[in-house]
A and B are shown apart, each in its own frame.
Chain A
Amino acid sequence: MNLTPEQQELGRRNFLKALAGTPALAALAVGAAIKGPVKGGPVRVGFIGVGGQGRVLLEQTDPAYADVLALADINPLSLGKADDVLKKKGLHPARHYAEWKEMLEKENLEAVIMAPPLWMHADIASGCMEAGKHVLCEKMMAWDYPGCERMRETARKTGKILEIGYQRNYNPIYQAAHEGIVKAGQLGDVYHSRIVWHRNGTWRRKGEPPSADYDPSRWGYPDYDHLINWRLYWKYSRGLHAELASHQVNIVNWFFGAEPEAVVSSGGVYRFPEGGREVPDHVYTILEYPHGRTAVFTSIESNAYDHYYEAFYGTKATLILRGETEAYLFDEGGGERPTTVDVTPKGSGPALDASESRSAEAAGSFKSGAPEKIERVAAYRLEVSGFCASIRTGKPLLCGPDRAIGSAKACIRAAEAVEKKSTRLSV
C-alpha cells in the first residue's frame, strides 16, 4: 500500500474526522489506559520459549503486572539474550530451565507466557493449564485444528485463562476503527478485504549453535538449523499463513463478524529453495466468507513495496490499517472535504497560541498539533498487561480462544491447500 504523503495525511485526517464524536476517538486519543497498581500484586509468571518473539513479549512485560520468575528454553543462547532483556529493564534475574515441565514443578508460578515453535503450542499450553497455570500463548493458536480444540477444551475444563497473542486486538487503532468506523456503518456494505504482507528477503536465519556438541535432536529437531529455522519446515510450522496471515485473518473475522467458509490457495517455494525449505515463499489465498464477502491474502518474499496492511473496501468508504500504526479512511467518490478534525492531547500548555496572523498551513499551535503516534510494540504491552488483568479481575480477554480458533482454522486450511495443491477447501 503506497500512498503519497498528501494521501496519507488526507486519509489519516478522514479517519479521525469519522471518529469524531464517538467514544472510539477518546480511546485513540488517550491510548488504552491501564490503571495500576495491581491488587493482589503482580502475577507470578514464567516464560516458555524466549526466542525472538518471546523476547518481544518479555521486553513489553510491565513489572507492575507481571513478576518474571523463570525462563524455559531449550536453546541456552536464547536464555542468555532473555537475561539481557531483563537486565536492560532493571529487573531481577530469572531462573533458567531447559525443560518447561521442570520449571512448572520447581517454580511457584501462576501463569505462563509462551512463544515456542508452533508445533509445541497445544502440548505446552494444555500441559500448563492442567498444571494450574494461566496461559498467554503466542499466535497461531496451534499447528492443527485438533490441537486448537484441545487447548480450548483444556481451558474450559481447568477454568484457566487462555489468551492467544494477537496483539492487534489490543491496539487502540484497531479498537477505534472497529468501534467508530466498522460498527458505526461508515464503510457501508463491505464485500471485499485485502490483507497483504509483503517482504523482500529470505525467512531463513543463520546462527551458530551454543556449543559444538549441542544436540537438539531429543527435542525433535535433527540439527540446529531445524531449530532456528523451524518456520521453514511443515513439521513445526504452517508457514506464512500461520506466522503472518493469521494475524490479519483474525482482524477480518473480527470486522466481518464472521469466519471463512472456504479457502482457495496457491503458492510455492519459488525464490528460496536452498536448504530444503518446505513452506512456500509466495502464497496467494482467497478466503470466502458468508454473504458474498471475500478476503484476499498475499504474502511474498520478493518485493516489499506494499509492506503490510489490512484494507476494507466498502460501498461507502475504504478503511486501511497499515503497519499496525496507521489508519486511513477514504470516502467513495466523496473527494476531499474542506473541513478536517485533529485530536491532540491537552498537556499542560495553553489551548491555543495567539500571534500575528499565520498562514493557512500553520496549525493552531506553534508546536506540532499531530495526534500521538501509536507505538506498534505498545500493543504487546497492553496484551501482556491485559492478560494479567484478566487473571486478577476476571476482565474479559480481547481475543480469547474462541476468536483465535477461527483464524487458526482458516489459516491451517489455507496452508494445507497450498501444500496439497488443492484448489478449494471448506473450512
Chain B
Amino acid sequence: MLSLDFAPASDGADYWIRVHRRAMACRFEVTLSGEDAHHVPAARDALDEIDRIESSLTVFRETSDLVQLNKAAGHAPVAVDETLFGLLHLCRELHLRTGGTFDVSTTPLSRCWGFLRREGRLPSAAEIAAARALVGMDAVELDEAGRTVRFRRPGMELNLGSIGKGFALGQVAARLRQHVRHALLSAGGSSVLALGGRGAGWIVDLRSRQVSRDRLARVHLRDAALATSGAGEQFVEVEGTRYGHVLDPRTGFPASGVLSASVIAAEAAVADALSTAFLVGGLELARRYCADHPGTLALVTPDDGSERPRVFGQCPGASLEGA
C-alpha cells in the first residue's frame, strides 16, 4: 500500500520529549515518551517547583532558608518550615543508618581542603582537626515540637548538596504524579527518578567517567530512583596523590577506594544520600546496609582495576543487565 502520510506517526512512540531547565548548577529534565506529548505543560509546571526548593535550600544565596539557618542556629534555635525540617530529619536518620558516612555538616572540612572555592590544597593536621570539631550531624538538634533547629557547636554549617537534587526530584515527581503516569526525571544525570515505566520500565545506562568501559550497567526502572556519586569530579593533586572532593566525615580526609557508587531505592533523596555514603563507606558499608535495609540496591565500583561494579541487595522495580 502506497501512502504518503504527513500526519503524526500512529502514537508518537518513537521519539522522546525532553522538558528541561537549569537549576542547582545542573540540568533538571523530565523525559516523556512521544505519546505523552500532552503532558508537556504539566512537566513544565512541575519543574517550576525546583526554583522554590532551590531558593530555600541553596547555600549560594544569602536569602535562602539554609543560609539563614547556618548563620543563626549556632546561637539559638531557629524555626524552619516543614519541608526543610523534614529533610533535615531524613539527613539525621541517614547519618545514623550509614554509620556517620553521610553527613551534611562537612562544610568546614570542605573549606579547609579548598573545595568550596575550587582551589584544592592539602591542609595541615591541625587544620583538619579544627574543622572536624565543627562537623557532625549528631550535634544538630531537631526539636519536633517547635520545629526548630539548633547547632550544638557554633560555627557548624549545613550543606545539602549530597541530597538536594534527589529531594528536589521527589518533590517534582509528587506534583507530576497527579497528572502523569510515565515520566523519567533527571537532575544532572546523577539523580534519576522513574515515574511508572512502560513494559520492562525505563531503560537507563549507568556510565562513569572513572572507568574506561562504555557502561557499567543497563538498568530497567519502574517507580524507583537511581543516584550516582563519584570521587573524580573534583579533586586536588598533591605530590602525586589525588584527593577527591568527597570527604569522609569520620577521618577528615577524602574518601578513597571507590570509583563510583550508585544506589537504587524507592526515594530519590535516599538514593542520593546513600550513593555518597557508599562512596565514603565502600563495599563493606554497601553490603551491610543493603542486607539490613531491603529495597536498596547498590552498585559499587571499587578502585581495584576491575572496572566492575559489585552489586548488593535488590529493589522492587529495578532490574539490571550487564552488571
Which positions in A face B, CB cutoff 8 Å?
20-27, 29-30, 32-40, 65, 172, 175, 338-346, 349-364, 366, 369, 382, 385-386, 388-390, 392-393, 395, 398
Contact = CB atoms under 8 A, between A and B. Distances in A.
B54 to A, nearest CB: 12
A34 to B, nearest CB: 5
Contacts of A29: 12, 14-15, 34
B186 A352 contact: yes
Interface stretch (B95-103, B111-119, B171-179, B202-210): B202-210
Contacts of B7: 23, 27
Given A21-B37, A340-B21, A351-B202, A65 B229 contact: no
A353 B204 contact: yes
Given A355-B190, A356-B233, A358-B188, A30 B8 contact: yes
Nearest to A172: B6
B25 interface: yes
B192 A352 contact: yes
Interface in B5-54: 5-9, 12-22, 25-27, 29, 31, 33-34, 37-41, 44, 47-48
Contacts of B17: 20, 25, 341-343
19 contacts: A21-B37, A23-B7, A35-B5, A338-B21, A339-B19, A340-B19, A340-B21, A343-B34, A344-B18, A345-B16, A349-B203, A351-B203, A352-B192, A352-B204, A355-B190, A357-B26, A363-B27, A364-B31, A386-B4
B189 A352 contact: yes
A251 to B, nearest CB: 16
Contact of B188 (A25, A359, A392): A359
B125 interface: no
Interface in B176-206: 184, 186-192, 202-206
A39 B2 contact: yes
A354 B13 CA distance: 22
Contacts of A362: 26-27, 188-189
Given A355-B189, A355-B208, A364 B20 contact: yes
A389 B2 CA distance: 6
B157 to A, nearest CB: 21
A359 B26 CA distance: 5
Contact of B1 (A23, A39, A342, A344): A39
Given A354-B192, A355-B206, A389 B26 contact: no
Nearest to A342: B18
A346 B37 CA distance: 14
Contacts of B19: 20, 339-341
Contacts of A25: 8, 12, 17, 37
B228 interface: yes
B153 interface: no
A175 B6 contact: yes
Given A343-B17, A355-B189, A357-B191, 14 more contacts: A23-B8, A26-B37, A33-B9, A39-B2, A340-B19, A340-B21, A346-B14, A346-B34, A352-B202, A353-B189, A354-B192, A356-B229, A389-B3, A392-B2
Contacts of A356: 189-190, 208-210, 228-230, 232-233, 260
Contacts of B206: 353-355
A358 B26 contact: yes
B226 interface: yes
B18 A341 contact: yes
B132 interface: no
Contacts of A34: 3-5
Q: Which of B3, B12, B38: most chain A CB closer than 10 A?
A: B3
B255 to A, nearest CB: 13
A395 B18 contact: no
B262 interface: yes
A259 to B, nearest CB: 23
A40 B1 CA distance: 9
Contacts of B15: 26, 29-30, 343-346
Contacts of B27: 358, 360-364
A156 to B, nearest CB: 23
B4 A395 contact: yes
B205 A26 contact: no
Contact of B204 (A32, A351, A357): A351
A349 B205 contact: yes
B308 interface: no
A178 B307 CA distance: 52
Contact of A366 (B1, B207, B218): B207
B165 interface: yes
Given A339-B44, A364-B31, A26 B188 contact: no
A346 B15 CA distance: 5
A351 B209 CA distance: 19
